[in-house]
Amino acid sequence: MRDYFPNREGECFSTALANALVSLPVPDKKIAEEVFNSLRSHELVIDNTLHIGVVTRVLFDTTRHRYNGTLYATFPRDLEQVTRDYYGRAANDVISVMRQEIKEGRIKDRLGDVTYKLPSLLLVNAAKNGEDLGHWIVDLGHGNYINGRRIFQTGRRVVTMGVLDFTFSKGKEE
């Protein structure tokens, strides 16, 4: 039995990424621990919030360039304005990184039937008080998912807002 990382308030991405790393065929426990313990201090985490448009960059940075990913999601037409409204002055950094990730093909504005490797991170809708909020979980395949330390099974695929497919990178370790 694997030890999975717990969800911490507002930090589901670090939890899901760490849990996905320990769920690899050859678990990467060292990097998983580093991600879980350090992601909240990444410069693109603003007020304990991680914008969906920067997750590919944060994945690459927090895994010391060992992993990279492709995000598949459907974005609103006014994503940049929504980002400005939410993040205020800090939005410029987020938008700049998001534009670069899109330009370099790491963010795809489509979801549909995306084929991805397992384990992968799924952004699911976790509506709270009538507001649509995203929550990251791990897809292990065959209807098995990890949410924090809890593994659950469902007979169907969960409805996703986004998929982050990640792979081992040939990038240099810093």
Strands 49-50 and 45-46, sheet pairing: antiparallel
Q: Is residue 163 part of a domain?
A: yes
Question: For residue 116, what are the domain limits?
Answer: 12-168
Residues 120-133 have a mean pLDDT of: 76
Integer Cα distance of 126 and 128 in angstroms: 6
Work out the angle at residue 70's Cα, subtended by the Cα atoms of residues 115 and 148, and round it to the nearest 5 degrees. Answer: 85
Q: Is residue 162 part of a domain?
A: yes
At residue 131, the pLDDT reads 62
Q: Is residue 2 part of a domain?
A: no
Q: Is residue 1 part of a domain?
A: no
Provide the token pair at 12. 């589901």
Query: In the block, which residue shows the tokens 């469902």?
Result: 154
Going across the sheet that includes 67-73, the strands are 107-109, 67-73, 160-168, 120-125, 134-141, 144-147, 150-153
Backbone angles phi, psi at 159, to 5 degrees: -80, 125
Q: Is residue 5 part of a domain?
A: no
Residue 173 has pLDDT above 50, yes or no: no
Give yes or no for a contact between 153 and 44, defined as CB atoms under 8 angstroms apart.
no
47 or 105, higher pLDDT = 105
At residue 78, the pLDDT reads 86
pLDDT band at 2 (very low <50, low <70, confident <90, very high): low
Q: Name the least confident of 55-59, 124-128, 134-138.
A: 124-128
Q: State pLDDT tens for residues 136-166.
A: 999 999 889 999 999 998 877 677 889 999 9
**Rg of the chain, C-alpha, whole Å:** 15
Q: Is residue 87 part of a domain?
A: yes
Residue 85 has pLDDT above 50, yes or no: yes
161 or 43, higher pLDDT = 43
Q: In one letter, which amino acid is 72?
A: Y
Identify the sign of the CA torsion 171, 79, 14, 110: negative
Q: How far is CA 149 from the centre of its chain?
A: 17
Q: Is residue 174 part of a domain?
A: no
pLDDT band at 128 (very low <50, low <70, confident <90, very high): low
Is the pTM higher than 0.95? The answer reads: no
The number of folded domains in the chain is 1
